[in-house]
Structures are given as C-alpha cells and as structure tokens.
Amino acid sequence: MGKGKVKLVEGGLRHDGRRLDELRPITISVGVLKNANGSALVEYGRTKVLAAVYGPREPQMKHILLPNRAVIRCRYHMASFSTYERKSPTLSRREIELSKVIREALEPVIISELYPRTSIDVFIEVINADGGTRTASVTAASLALAEAGIPMKGLVAGVAVGKIDGYLALDIDEVEDMYGEADMPVAIAPSLRQITLLQLNGVLTPGEFTQALELARKGVEVIHEMQKEALKKKYLDVKVEE
Ligand code: ADP
C-alpha cells in the first residue's frame, strides 16, 4: 500500500479499471487555436492540456536575445478552474519549475540555430488536472512547435510511471500519484533515442527503475504514433477551395 489507506490495485486492476501497463484514453488535436502559430490540445484521461506556440519572433525584451540561436521561452500554467480546489491564478514555484523542465525537455529537438536573435514562445495552459500534466504538456508543446513550422529533429512525448501498492503502473493519475509510493515522469524524443525529461519522486530499487523506464518507453512509443497521426490528420484534412 502507498502513503494513504486507499487501495490502488485489486485483482490486477487499478481504481479506474485499467491494467498496470495501460494508458488512459488519449486524444490529440493539432491546430486548435486560430491566433497562435501552432497549437495542440492533448488529453490523457481527465488531464487536459492546451499548448500554444508563437514565433520565431522578435520579442519586446531585446536583451534576452542570443546572437547564435533562438531563445526558447516556456510558461506552464494551471488554470484556476483546473483543480478540485480553486488554484491561485498567479504562478507558483511548482509552475516555475515545470516551465523550466518542460522547456529543457523540448530544447534538444528544436533547431534553434536557424533563428538567431528571435524567441520561440511556448504557452501551456492546464485546463483540467488529474495527474501527468507535465508529461501531457511536453506531448502537446512538441506538436504545437511542429504546427508552427519550427524546424525540429523530431517530436517529444511524455508519460509518467508510478509505483502503486508495490506495482509499477503506466500513466498514473492524480489519485495514484497522491497515494502511491513513487512517481516518475519521463519524456523521450524517439527520433534521437534521447530521454529529455526524467524526474523521480519517491523511491524505486535499481531493478524497478529499469522496469519503470521500459514501461515509460513503451507508453511513449504509443503516444508518439498518435502524435504523428494527429499531425497527418491536420494536414490531410485540409480542404482545397475550388
Ligand atoms: P504532474 O501534473 O506532472 O503529475 P505533480 O506530480 O506535481 O505534476 O502533480 C500531480 C497532480 O496533482 C496534478 O496533475 C494535479 O492533478 C494535482 N495538483 C498539482 N498541483 C496542484 C494544485 N496546486 N492544486 C490542486 N491540485 C494540484
């Protein structure tokens, strides 16, 4: 059992009926905002995240510009209505930290050298939070960057693995995160075969860590295929005016 008294796994199934290696139902839509250069809406079960990308553009704060590449700026924000109890709309320390780790998860795939003295701005708004918002944010943001036409070495997709009642479980939700023993968000750029985000809250043995990473890799593989499908759908569904 985890920290609390909540039973998380019974008869091999989780509290929402999923198997341990099962993702939540995932939906991905690209190009959902008219005014952004690129945007995507991603749902992992009841977690719902919107990403909007602007740029490359010349920001008002010129002192942040770099002579040899674009500056990537990222803001992760949870809407005040996204949580069970109203969240303060001002940026918390957690949101500042997540803005940084999400930016670092995206930077390895962005070919920023092509746009010196510009900024590429990634805005992430959590519309509904039910665990795994940072990993859903990476998945959404990489699609929004792609739709904005930013040259990239590939997409990045993320998923969290957890340890609940002693079992490793893929794509944990808020209850599992809260009452489980460990939470390990992972983001991978499959085209680079590179892990671009890895955090661990809780304790895993070295063996569990290896297994958890493999579970995350399999989850990311599925999500990455869905990302590619969502991009194809966006571009193949374009109607040509007669
Ligand atoms: P992640 O969303 O990436 O899993 P955390 O592990 O920090 O990040 O948070 C787990 C979950 O806890 C969130 O997805 C959300 O459902 C909930 N949560 C986080 N911060 C808050 C908050 N300030 N108010 C209410 N719920 C929150």
pLDDT in tens, the chain (242 residues): 445 568 999 999 999 999 999 999 999 999 999 999 999 999 999 999 999 999 999 988 899 999 999 999 999 999 999 999 988 988 999 999 999 999 999 999 999 999 999 999 999 999 999 999 999 999 999 999 999 999 999 999 999 999 999 999 999 999 999 999 999 999 999 999 999 999 999 999 999 999 999 999 999 999 999 999 999 999 887 666 65
The answer to the question of residue 212 being in a domain is: yes
Ligand 1 center–CA 179 separation, angstroms? 13
The answer to the question of residue 170 being in a domain is: yes
- The ligand 1 atom at the shortest distance from the C-alpha of residue 47 is 14
Domain of 191? 15-241
pLDDT at 242 (0 to 100) = 58
The answer to the question of residue 127 being in a domain is: yes
The answer to the question of residue 204 being in a domain is: yes
User: CB of 24 closer than 6 A to ligand 1?
Assistant: no
pLDDT at 45 (0 to 100) = 98
User: CB of 45 closer than 6 A to ligand 1?
Assistant: no
Nearest CA among 192, 1, 32 for reference residue 111: 192
Ligand 1 center–CA 63 separation, angstroms? 34
Q: What CATH number does residue 81 fall under?
A: 3.30.230.70
The answer to the question of residue 46 being in a domain is: yes
The answer to whether 101 touches 75, Cβ cutoff 8 Å, is: no
- Count structural domains, the chain: 1
The answer to the question of residue 156 being in a domain is: yes
pLDDT at 203 (0 to 100) = 96
The answer to the question of residue 169 being in a domain is: yes
C-alpha 134 chain-centroid distance: 5
User: CB of 174 closer than 6 A to ligand 1?
Assistant: yes
Task: Give, using CA atoms, the residue closest to atom 2 of ligand 1.
Answer: 133
pLDDT at 236 (0 to 100) = 85
pTM, two decimals, is: 0.96
The answer to the question of residue 3 being in a domain is: no
pLDDT at 241 (0 to 100) = 63
**How far is 44 from 170, CA to CA, in rounded Å?**
12
Ligand 1 center–CA 226 separation, angstroms? 24
**How far is 3 from 112, CA to CA, in rounded Å?**
43
Token pair 């869905």 in the structure block, residue: 226
